Amino acid sequence: MTSMTPPRRIYNFGAGPSILPVPVLEEASRGVLELGTSGMSILEVSHRGMDYEAIQFGARDRLLKIMGLSGDEYTVLFLGGGASLQFAMLPMNFLKAGETADYIHTGEWSAKAMKEAKKFGEVHVAGNSESEKFTRIPQALTFSANAKYVHLTTNNTIEGTQFHQWPDVAGLPLIADASSDILSRRIDFSKFAMIYAGAQKNLGPAGVTVVVIKKEFLAKANENGPTLLRYRTHADADSLYNTPPVFAIYTLGLVLKWIEAEGGLSKIEERNRRKAQLIYQALDAYPSFYDPTVSVKEDRSLMNITFRLRDVSLESEFLKGAGKLGMDGLKGHRSVGGFRASVYNAFPEAGAQALAEYLHRFALR
Ligand SMILES: *Cc1c(COP(=O)(O)O)cnc(C)c1O
């Protein structure tokens, strides 16, 4: 076996691709050199071989188990194209001209999802917080009686809001883009007809998108459309219709093992709550200095904490000071400005502590 020196780690607050657990990086590096005793790298093995099948099917089963879902009711798909392809694939499979889908509009990602859906059918905006600059989750929701599905974005990565309870959709199929908070907390996943997520924020490296779809819902998919863009194709082939992103799925499987070893979603959630609380508390302690962009506390994200300085002229000094302390990736999304601290599952508590201390010190300096 090779010996590796531990990697140097900064506090990476990047929004995505984002931080991965060190034990996962170490195991993945070993897999790059040799997968088990196969004499081959994970980058070289056949996706049709037994070694690889065990990896992919293991990841599929472990994901369902962590989500508390049964393989009798739900199918897991590992797809390419990012979460962004799902914006188009979902309506391509479930929405036809003249039919309506409902979307809750909570920010830039939901806007992109709606843009694609409009190419296939009617979009009814069931709720919208644009007039409040997406600084909260919309309260008043109206659903179409005949909607093919209702789409929401569980966590708004750019704006820093998050759904903490689920709308009552009166039996309509509920679809979630959970790209930036999947497996960050306990959720009753059985409320959803489909959940999808690009892996690169909480699940693994970029290159694979996870789609967890209820079989009952999948049965209602359109029969036409390009073969590779039909959910049915991938479900029938166990996500091995074409060559899957082997390395990304392998690493995702290691992340799922890590989640289990950490104590599962309840432990992950507890830690995520502590991390977010440390940072929000520091921001809220100096209201004349910091401006947390999501003032409605119930709607704040545990994953992406967005804030500005009241005196914007201090922004570059703030960033520079953070960089000196080994904190990177804090610059806010270009459309929102200010700062964003992304504290996904793998982000350590010590990093949240370091940022909180820095926030205190910078305000008092
Ligand atoms: C990052 C992100 C996306 C886009 O993911 P890609 O995999 O880059 O296409 C979509 N939705 C949300 C909520 C995201 O955070």
- Asked if the model's pLDDT at residue 23 lies above 60, the reply is yes
Q: From the centroid of its chain, how far is CA 346?
A: 13
Q: How far is it, in rounded angstroms, from Cα 23 to Cα 36? A: 16
Which residues are 177's β-sheet partners?
153, 196
Q: From the centroid of its chain, how far is CA 202?
A: 6
**What band does 3 get if pLDDT is binned at 50, 70 and 90?**
low
Percent pLDDT > 70 in the chain is 99
Question: What is the residue-wise DSSP string for 228-247?
Answer: GG-HHHHHHTTT-SS---HH
What separation in Å is there between the alpha carbon of 34 and the centre of ligand 1? Answer: 31
End-to-end C-alpha distance for the chain, whole angstroms: 50
- Asked if the model's pLDDT at residue 282 lies above 70, the reply is yes
Q: Which of 180, 208, 333 to mutate to test the pocket of ligand 1 (most atoms within 8 A of CB)?
A: 180
Spot the catalytic one: 102, 148, 181, 201. 201
166 noted as active-site residue: no
Cα–Cα separations (whole angstroms), residue 250 to 54, 58, 59, 207, 254: 10, 10, 8, 11, 7
Q: Which pLDDT belongs to residue 70? A: 98
201 noted as active-site residue: yes
Q: Are 162 and 154 in contact (CB under 8 A)?
A: yes
Beta-carbon contacts of 3 under 8 Å, excluding residues fewer than 6 positions away, are none
Q: Which CATH superfamily groups domain 264-364?
A: Aspartate Aminotransferase, domain 1 (3.90.1150.10)
Which residue's CA is the closest to the ligand 1 atom numbered 5?
83
Work out the mean pLDDT of the chain and round it to a whole number. 96
Q: Which pLDDT belongs to residue 40? A: 95
What separation in Å is there between the alpha carbon of 117 and the centre of ligand 1? Answer: 16
Q: Which pLDDT belongs to residue 277? A: 98
What separation in Å is there between the alpha carbon of 55 and the centre of ligand 1? Answer: 25
Q: What is the dihedral of CA 222, 225, 226, 229, to 10 degrees?
A: -50
Q: Which pLDDT belongs to residue 330? A: 97
Which of 13, 8, 7, 9 has the alpha carbon at shortest distance from 358? 13
Domains 27-261 and 264-364 share a fold: no
**What band does 8 get if pLDDT is binned at 50, 70 and 90?**
confident
What separation in Å is there between the alpha carbon of 109 and the centre of ligand 1? Answer: 7
**What band does 1 get if pLDDT is binned at 50, 70 and 90?**
very low
Q: Are 76 and 212 in contact (CB under 8 A)?
A: yes
- Tokens, residue 74: 């739900």
**What band does 288 get if pLDDT is binned at 50, 70 and 90?**
very high
pTM, two decimal places: 0.97
What separation in Å is there between the alpha carbon of 363 and the centre of ligand 1? Answer: 33
Per-residue pLDDT, averaged over 277-292, amounts to 97
Which residue's CA is the closest to the ligand 1 atom numbered 13?
179
180-200 as b/e: b if 16+ CB within 10 A? bbbbbbebebeebbbbbbbbb
Closest approach atom of ligand 1 to CA 153: 13
* Structural domain boundaries in the chain: 27-261, 264-364
Residues with CB under 6 A from ligand 1: 16, 82-84, 109, 153, 157, 177, 179-180, 198
109 noted as active-site residue: yes
Q: Which pLDDT belongs to residue 97? A: 96
Per-residue pLDDT tens digits for 163-202: 999 999 989 999 999 999 999 999 999 999 999 999 999 9
Outline where the chain has alpha helix (H).
22-33, 50-67, 82-94, 108-117, 215-218, 231-236, 246-261, 264-284, 315-324, 349-364
Which residue's CA is the closest to the ligand 1 atom numbered 14?
179
Q: Are 104 and 152 in contact (CB under 8 A)?
A: yes
Per-residue pLDDT, averaged over 277-298, amounts to 96
Is CATH 3.40.640.10 what the domain over 27-261 is classified as, yes or no? Answer: yes
91-129 as b/e: b if 16+ CB within 10 A? bbbbbeeebbbbbbbbbbbbebbbebbeebbbbeebbbb
- Asked if the model's pLDDT at residue 21 lies above 90, the reply is yes
Q: Are 183 and 225 in contact (CB under 8 A)?
A: no
